Every structure is written in structure tokens, then in C-alpha cells.
Structure 1
Amino acid sequence: MTRQTSLVPRLLTLASLAALSQAELGKIQWKGSCNLTTYPALICGTLDVPYDYTESNSSKTLTLDIAKWPATKKPVSEPIIFNFGGPGVNSFEGLGLYGEEFQAILGGHNDLIAFNNRGVGNTIPFSCYSDDATRELVALQAPNDGRASSTALGEIWAQNANIAQACYATNNQTGSLIGTSFAARDIMQVADALSGKDSLVNYWGFSYGTTIGAVLAAMFPDRMGNVALDGVDNPREALYGYNAQAVVDVDKVFEGFCTGCMAAPDLCPIAKEYTSAANLEAAIYLMLENLKYNPIAIPETGGIVTWSDVKSTIFEAMYLPSSWPLTSELLYYVQTRNTTILGNSEVYDTIKSYGQSASLTSASDEVGTAITCSDKHRSATIKEVLPYVKARQALTKIGSDGSDGDMRCAQWNPKMFAKERYSGDFEVKTANPVLILSNTYDPATPLPAAKNLTETFEGSVLLEQNGYGHTTLSMPSLCTAKAVRAYFTNGTLPADGTICQVDVPLFTNLTYKDVWPKSFQRSVESRDDATILKALMSVRDKMSRRRMCIYLYTNSASWRPELP
């Protein structure tokens, strides 16, 4: 099917953009600690950058908020810029949460830098609704997956017509100023201010941060220093297509969940009724199918637990194996239809938050689809979108069919299409080779996407981590972390075809002290390895608590009875 392009405005070419006059090199104005209570080590500052890179004669600027986690050791090497993905993730928050761990992983000799993309935080904030109550009401108007019922796809289309209109009504003056190409240009402005106009850019991007990184490398190949892309989204599909490739390995990750569950029944209560991983997997699929026609009534809340709620909770858990023991408990209570546990406010709210449609749980989710839709430059009818939704449905049972995002982008107002969209290819040779990282089984950015990008970036190397989850940070691996450190320290790439093993099993309650025997901590090298492993496990645990809702962990005593 030919994509409809009649409403797409003429795009500026890279050549013409290169000729645009740029704002004079600015300086970052460092202000001191961002928050002495929450992130005392994080330093905040501001930098003025061009407001609109396509307006060659304009002097209007935009103020970026910059965060820095200072190097902890001397000598201090060139800074590393981070992007934690999304789209729409608050990178300030990411660096504040994980900065200490990243310094330990990387060796402490670099300033770590992050700033929020346009649309996030204070940087041209993007929000479609004025309050969460309205947002939740809109989210309840349709399921979050077109397979929920025979009428779901039509409901999702209508709901997203309303969302797209609401987004335009509140952001029509600035919606075209967000997008991946402007994000890449902002990175160059930050790099210029940090190290000078001819400096090389050191960058570590995760998930959507790899799309920004790929565009950055394609637009400015001669300025690339050490660039690591972890959890690769196929940039061609992410920018121009429907990205069905994103879900090709979701069900393989779920197979890993079932295999790990059967291998550790003490940590996976749902395993006790089954004799094999295949039997468990089939039983969970059957349970999901039954929920379509027999959802669970929850008298305590007056609500119901549906197919969409439970399937989406499983999909969310596939991102982080450290959340799998908790997820298995939730599935056990769904399978046994335990309305007392499911009616607990923490449990019920968590499950329902994943089942809400259109990912409208906060303004940050709205900006995520806004960046995606502004990049795609696509208007389409429901008839044109449906084949792509059906194709994704055929690729995964557990993963999202993407109908809400596809249908929103199809109805996105063309006046909010990104003013610049990179339209070149990714067959580029960068000044220094790129390091690409991927888990063997990733539910959102699969290994095939990483392989595709490795083939297009000349000289790049793919490091595969033999694990599950989204990005290599989802499972601790000293092998992977030491390879990343070597790359950022002196540009050393792992051998082509390197596969790193992980250091913890899938279902585990092991702590750092359990994984790292004290007898190994005698040499300087082993003490350093211990520091790295401790940092990796800390990142994993923090990510798990954030993804599966922190109150399920902190208030677990309020809902977790003794399991049989």
C-alpha cells in the first residue's frame, strides 16, 4: 500500500539545512545542585539553543535545562551525553536515579550529561489535557488493543480522533518544533557548549535514544566519538513505517518467562500446577482467552479485571526479568480469581494502569506519541491503517498490536508534523565506529533491528547479551558492562560476534552479596568488578520498582498473603 503523502509539507533537505546560520556558540550556565534532597550530586544548568533550526534568519532561542553528574575521578575525560529513551522519558530523572551507578560502570572519569528532549519537562512542554482526571476519562473510552473485542478497533480509531484533536488544540503553535531531527541538533549544541565546535560527541542512548543516536550519526557522521546504542529501534521503521518489527520477539520473551518460572517454582507460584514450560504457557494463553468472555468482577472496587488489563500487565513485565517473580504472583491470583487480592487498591490500580487505552496515564505519555507522530508525517484512513495493525497482531499474542499509536498518528494534524525530518539513509561511515548492544530476546527493540543497523553503520560492532528484557541493563552482565567501559575509555570494540552471558538467573531473589562471593574480592581487578556488578544490580532493581509500580514493592505486606 502506498502511504498517503498529499498533506505532507515540502521537507527541507539536509544540504539546505547545513547552510542555515546557527546561533552563536553558547555557554552552559551551571546553577548548582538540582535538588539537594533528592539528587544532591546532580548539577543543573541551562543552555540557549535555536528555537527553530529551519528559520535561518531568526534569533529566537529556546532554553534547554542541562543536568550533569560530575566525574568522580581524575583525570577527567570528555563528557558522555545520555538519552534514556521513551520517547518522552525525563532524562533529568534518569540521570538522577542512575548517575551513581553509571559512574561506577564507566569508571568515574567522565562527566555524565543529560537534557530533556523538546516536549519533555520544561522544554516546550507538551500536554493534551489540563488534568489527570480528564486524561483518565479519555483513556477509559476504548481498550488498549484491537483484539479486545469485535468492536475495539473502531472504538480506538474514534478515541484517537478525539485525542489528536485535543493535542492540536493545546499545542498547535509548538507541536511542529519537537521531533527527532531537532533533538539531534540540540545534542550537537550541547556538545559544542561542553567541548567546542569541532569536538567529537560521546553518546549513550537507550531504546528511543538509539533512534536519536542513529539520526545524530547519520546527520553528523564526522562528529561522532564513542557512540553506544543499546536496545535498537529500527530507525527506518520508527521514523517512516509502522514498525511491526518491534514486536517480533515478545512471545519469545514470554517463553523465557515460562521456562524460568518452571525452573524456580518456589519463586513462581503459578508453576506448581504444571509439568512443563509449554503447558504453563498454554494455560496462561487459555486464561487470557477466557478473560475476554469472563472478566473478573471485583466487588471491593466496583470494577472488573479484563483481558486487556492482564495481557498488558504481562507485556509490561517482559521488559524486566527482575519483575517476573512479582508478576507470577499477580498471574496466580488472576488464575485463581482471588478477588480479595485483586481488589486491593495497590494491586487493582497497577493492573488497571497497564490496561488503560492509548497510554494516557500522564502528560509524559502524550509527548511520547507526539514525537512519534510528528516524525512520521503521515495521514491515513482507518482502512489504510488496519493491514498494519493486523500484521502486528499476527506476530505476537502478548505484545501490543500498536493500534492506538498507529491510529493517533494517522489522524495527527499536519500542522504539527515536525518541521524537519531526516529523510536520508543510514548507510554512513562515522568518524569512529559505533557500538551497538542488544539482548538476545528483547520485547520492544529486538535483536534483528540491532543487526540491521549494524549492517548499515560501517565499522560498527554488535555486542549481543544472552538475556531477556529491554536493553542490556535489564539483566546484569559484567561481560557487557566491561565492554562498554573499554569502549568509552579508549574506543576498544569487542570482537565481532561477541556474545556476553548474564550473571543472574531469570527468577531470582539473589542480592549482590549472594552473586558476588567474598573470596573473589582480593585483587584490585576483582574489587572493581564487584563495584560494577553491584551497580548493575542496583540499576536493575531501581528499574524494576519503577516499571512495576513502586507501591507494589513498598506496600507488599498489605496485599501479599502466604502462598500455598
Structure 2
Amino acid sequence: MDEKHMIGGLAWNQQRTNSRSKLWIIIPSILSFLYILFRGWWSILPSTNETSFLKFNRERINWEPCGDFEASPLECSSIHVPMDQFDLQNSGNRTFTIPLVRMRGSNATQNLLLNPGGPGASGFQFLYNRGKQLKAVVGEGYHLLSFDPRGVNSSTPTASCYPDDRTRQKLAHVRSLDVLGDSPEVYAWAQNFFRACSDTMGEHAMYLNTPQTAADMNSILDALGQEDMIYWGFSYGSLLGQTYAGLFPERSKRVIIDGVVNQFEWYEGLFEAQSLIDTDTVLDGFFEECINAGADTCTLASLATSKEKLRNTVLSYIHMLQQQPIGVYINNSVYGLLDYEKVWYNGFLEALYKPSIWSTLADNMYKLIQGNATNAFLEYANKEIRDWRHEANEFITLNDGISGPEHWPQDRQTFLENITPLFNHSLFSPVQSKIYYMRQHWNIPKTHSYVPRKGVKTTHPMLILSTTYDPVCPLIAAWSANEAFEGSQVIEVKGYGHCSVALPSVCVAKYVREFLYGGKLPDTYTQCEVDSSYFHRLNKSRQLPAYKHFEDAEEARIHLAQVLLARNWDFALGK
């Protein structure tokens, strides 16, 4: 095959891969939407086939089959919750609809509630894509249940600052990654953004916050006829778990938080300022592990003899892209620019979350520095990091914390002087620029009164999971949660990445099972080793194999599930 046809084939394969990726993102949303639509239509018809509904003991809701994922059937339902969980009179007849999705365990009598993070990530998408692997880790003793929180995905009303997707595509984008140069534009854009959010959502806008979602989880439990909260929350889901445990400690029987958000900084300070304190350490870990692996496994290692020299080589090249982007031409329908922002944020930042793609990043960067930009362009130039088609992330983040004119100077120059020091925490700090301007102008009234506190005694102590170096939820935040919840215990996964699922560790899985089934926690702070190395030879399909052999069949099954979770987990990235 000649080079022209080979490159054309690469482009076609990449387009096909991107199409499949978008399809897997869209399918869960379509399923949940169709379920709600069908349920509403069905309710106005005479009841002619009661067996189409699934009804279980103690539960106050009906379920309906809503698809299969790799031979694992899913069932769906929904509940209506008050607009204001803490003031029913204020709610009147105004509600949110919360869709539920469940994968049943063969030996289960209780439900494990799951939240994938965000805020704004879909529980439907989460369980549809990752349910089978999570089930292998958890075992058959729990039903896995997730949901689209209020404002998210197919919940109604959905959090939105735009009347339709076409308007969103037209108006949502603003340049913000050049902290000084983009300041005038993003400052003006944020004023319009706040007004659009308020106008589009109306009164419901005030009740899109984490304490309300925590109370919604009680409504879910009540609908299930389940008294005790059994929960595993990842990333922002760790904040939701802490908020729930702070508000309802008497129902918090088995709460796992994973990849921990500092709730004190989230509600009372500036979460973003702390969140990136270990990000550059993870970047340094990428270069160190590459050098340790050697050029036979990490091609990038052939460019330097030490991690410091490799770091300088790569960062110098990326700096050159700031001065001069590269024009890449594949064919007359696939071409464009490969610039600094695309490589740095679409490539490096995402890889810091997921060490399972470090080999691919290193391979792409080696070829790019050698003058072949094709792989990097196809991988990073047009990557859609997040396409949620709603603004739940912004509503919840800004409604939870300290936002608006009461807390921030309103003239641009003074505000810029105040936030400029915050960009010194990490080389990636500019990714947070836009949210600061949103905070400045956000003027939707705050309707929750939740204040985190220390020494909370839950029904059973909490399990806290974290990696040693998490790029967005540093280990120090896990210690803040440990201090907040009496008797809780921290397990540290000795490695890099976001949440314990970023790296395979059967050690962690065993502790999770012991906690869920018997309430057992380690006697003291505990570290777990990782069952993998960071760099591997890529096969022809650029995929990684399982990392380690286990004699025990169950351990081998858990390990394979963890490998797949680490490889395919969809973290909530955005900029």
C-alpha cells in the first residue's frame, strides 16, 4: 500500500473510531430519553399487559427492561422529586424527574448507588458502559444502581443555558486559555452566559446544587424500600458522598468516596486553587516512568537520558507550537491545524488522568517531534473532550460555592489581578480560567445552607480511596475527608492517575469487597500496590494487554475488569 492510501486509511479508521465513540456517548442518553418518553405515553393507555413491568418486594416503583450490555440486562425506572427538597411548601407542584438504571446482582438484596462524577456525568452512560466491569469488582451481592442527577442528561428539566443544541454550538465557545490575552473576551462572555442560564432555567436554576441531589438520593432509597445508603462515588461523586453523609449520617451505612474533592474548599473556598497541586507531579511521573521503561517500551525515551532532559525536550517542542502551529493535510476532507492547546490539553492533560494511555501519548509525541504529525493530529486536533449537551456542571459548581458580586470584584482588571496568582499552581492552570469568570458574574441566589463540618459520626465509618498523585483530586483532599468523618480510613493506591480505577489493583478490590459485605476497614492508613507497569508495547490495534497473571481465577477476573476500567473510563474533562 502506498503512503497516500495508507494515510487515507488511517484517516478513515480514525473517523470510524470517532463515530463509534460518539455513538457510545449518545446511546445511553437515547435509551434514557426513550424510556421516559415511553413511560409517559404508556401511562395514558389502558393497562393491558401488567407483565411488561417489573415489581420487586418492598419497592414502590416499577421497572422496565431497557437494554442489554454484553449479556447483562438493564432495567429502568424514574421518580419525581420536589424542586426544593428542604422546603416542600416552596416547591409546590414543581419537580425534577430523576431517571434510574440498574444492573441486578444474582445474589443481591440491596442496591449500591453509583455516581461517576462531573458534576454532570450521566449515570445511564456510566452503568451502560462500565457496569459489567464494576460488577466484576463488586461481586454479585449488590444490584448496581445509577441515576441521572437533577439537571443532568435525561433528567427533566435539564440544566441548560441555551434554548437548543444549535444555539449552544453557536454561543457556548469562548477562548480562555491565554490568561492575559483572552481576559477581555471571556470577561464579557461570562456576563452574557450568566444571563442566558438564568433566563433559560427560570426558578429551577436555584435548586441545581449538591445538597439537593444528596436529598434526592434519599428519595431514591425510599422508592427502593431501602433504609441504608450504600454508595460509591468517584471524583465529584466523592463530594456528593461527603455531602450526603454530612446531611444524613444516620443513613450512611456503607459510603465509599474515590478520588476525593475537598468539600471545605468546594463550599467555602476556591476548590480549583487546590485541585491542581499534584498535576505537575503526575506530568513528571510520566517522564520518569518513560525513562525507567526504556526506549524499547517507551519510544519517547530515545530522545533523552534522564527524566529532566526528556521533560525539557518535550516542553520545548510544545512551546514551539505556541509560536507556530503545524498544518496537517490528510486528504481534502481531513486536514487542519495542530497547535499547542490541542496537544497540551487534549493530549497531555487527559493522559494524566489515565496512565493506561501513556504509551499512546509517548508514541504520538515521539512521532510528532520526529516530524510525523499524523497520529497526533488524528488523536488530539478535533477531540471532543466533553459533549454533555447541558450545563449541569456549571450550575452545580457555581450554585454550591462562593460566587457572584458579593465575593468577587466586578471590574475586569482588579479581578484579573486577584486571580493571576492562582495560575502559578500548575502548568495546566489556565484550563480553569473560564470558571473563574463565571464565578465572578454568577448571580443566581444561593438556596442551600450546607456547611461542611469535622467529626461527623456516620452509622458506619467511611472508606476513602485515593491514588498517591491524582492530577485533579490530590491526596491531601482525602485527608480532609478523613478528618471530617469519624472512624473513616484512607487507602492509598501507590501510583498516578485520577481515582482508584485509574490503575488495576486487586488489593484495592479486596478492601472494597470486605467493606461492602462486612463493613471491615483497615486498622490503620493503608497503601495498595499497583498490578501494572506504566508503559507497554502497543499491539497492532494500539491496545494494551492484561498486565499480570493471577493463579486464583476470581482474582484474575477482577484484574481483567480493572484493566478494562482503567483503559476505558470516561473522566469528566472540560475546558
Q: Same fold (TM over 0.5)?
A: yes
Are 1:158 and 2:174 counterparts? no
Counterpart residue type for residue 275 of structure 2:
A
Are 1:43 and 2:75 counterparts? yes
1:93 to 125, 133, 149: 125
Q: Secondary structure at the match of 2:516?
A: helix
Tell me, yes or no, if the aligned pair for 1:68 and 1:111 is still in contact at 8 Å: yes
Superposed CA deviations along residues 101-129 of structure 1, whole A, max 9, x for unmatched, are 22221121111111111111222211223
Superposed CA deviations along residues 5-24 of structure 1, whole A, max 9, x for unmatched, are xxxxxxxxxxxxxxxxxxxx
Counterpart residue type for residue 317 of structure 1:
A
Which residue does the alignment assign to 1:66? 100
Which residue does the alignment assign to 2:389? 363
Are 1:376 and 2:405 counterparts? no
Tell me, yes or no, if the aligned pair for 1:440 and 1:447 is still in contact at 8 Å: yes
- Greater mean deviation of Cα atoms: 324-333 or 436-445: 324-333
1:293 to 323, 331, 339: 323
Are 1:78 and 2:106 counterparts? no
Q: CA deviation at 1:62?
A: 3.3
Superposed CA deviations along residues 353-386 of structure 1, whole A, max 9, x for unmatched, are 45xxxx7x4424x221121011125113245643
Counterpart residue type for residue 529 of structure 1:
E
- Greater mean deviation of Cα atoms: 83-92 or 173-182: 173-182
Distance 1:262 1:434, change over 3 A: same
- Looking at structure 1, the residues matched to 547 and 554 of structure 2 have their Cα atoms a distance apart, in angstroms, of 15
Q: Secondary structure at the match of 2:121?
A: coil
Following superposition of structure 1 onto structure 2, how do residues 12-27 of structure 1 map, counting pairs within 5 Å?
A: none
Q: Secondary structure at the match of 1:409?
A: helix
Which residue does the alignment assign to 1:306? 339
1:315 to 349, 367, 372: 349
Q: Secondary structure at the match of 1:228?
A: strand
Tell me, yes or no, if the aligned pair for 2:61 and 2:223 is still in contact at 8 Å: no
Q: CA deviation at 1:139?
A: 5.1
- Looking at structure 1, the residues matched to 544 and 329 of structure 2 have their Cα atoms a distance apart, in angstroms, of 41
Q: CA deviation at 1:296?
A: 2.2
Tell me how many residue pairs correspond in the alignment: 499
Q: Secondary structure at the match of 1:515?
A: coil
Which residue does the alignment assign to 1:452? 480
Tell me, yes or no, if the aligned pair for 1:512 and 1:533 is still in contact at 8 Å: no
Q: CA deviation at 1:255?
A: 0.8
- Looking at structure 1, the residues matched to 163 and 535 of structure 2 have their Cα atoms a distance apart, in angstroms, of 41
TM (norm. structure 1) is 0.82
- Greater mean deviation of Cα atoms: 257-266 or 467-476: 257-266
Following superposition of structure 1 onto structure 2, how do residues 102-501 of structure 1 map, counting pairs within 5 Å?
A: 102-123=134-155, 124-132=157-165, 134-138=167-171, 140-143=173-176, 145-147=177-179, 150-196=180-226, 199-243=227-271, 244-264=273-293, 265-298=295-328, 303-313=336-346, 314-342=348-376, 344=378, 347-350=380-383, 353=384, 361-364=387-390, 366-379=391-404, 380=408, 381=410, 382-383=412-413, 385-386=415-416, 389-414=419-444, 417-501=445-529
Tell me, yes or no, if the aligned pair for 2:96 and 2:150 is still in contact at 8 Å: no
Q: Secondary structure at the match of 1:445?
A: coil
- Looking at structure 1, the residues matched to 93 and 572 of structure 2 have their Cα atoms a distance apart, in angstroms, of 41
- Looking at structure 2, the residues matched to 156 and 27 of structure 1 have their Cα atoms a distance apart, in angstroms, of 49
- Looking at structure 1, the residues matched to 220 and 123 of structure 2 have their Cα atoms a distance apart, in angstroms, of 14
Q: CA deviation at 1:419?
A: 2.3
Structure 1 vs Structure 2: percent identity of aligned residues?
29
**Unmatched 5+ stretches in structure 2:** 1-57
Distance 1:205 1:246, change over 3 A: same
Q: CA deviation at 1:418?
A: 4.5
2:559 to 525, 533, 537: 533
Q: Secondary structure at the match of 1:89?
A: coil
Q: Secondary structure at the match of 2:62?
A: strand
The one of the two structures with greater contact order (alpha-carbon pairs below 8 A, sep at least 6) is 1
**Unmatched 5+ stretches in structure 1:** 1-25, 550-564
- Looking at structure 1, the residues matched to 236 and 115 of structure 2 have their Cα atoms a distance apart, in angstroms, of 8
- Looking at structure 2, the residues matched to 225 and 63 of structure 1 have their Cα atoms a distance apart, in angstroms, of 26
Distance 1:477 1:527, change over 3 A: same
- Greater mean deviation of Cα atoms: 133-142 or 433-442: 133-142
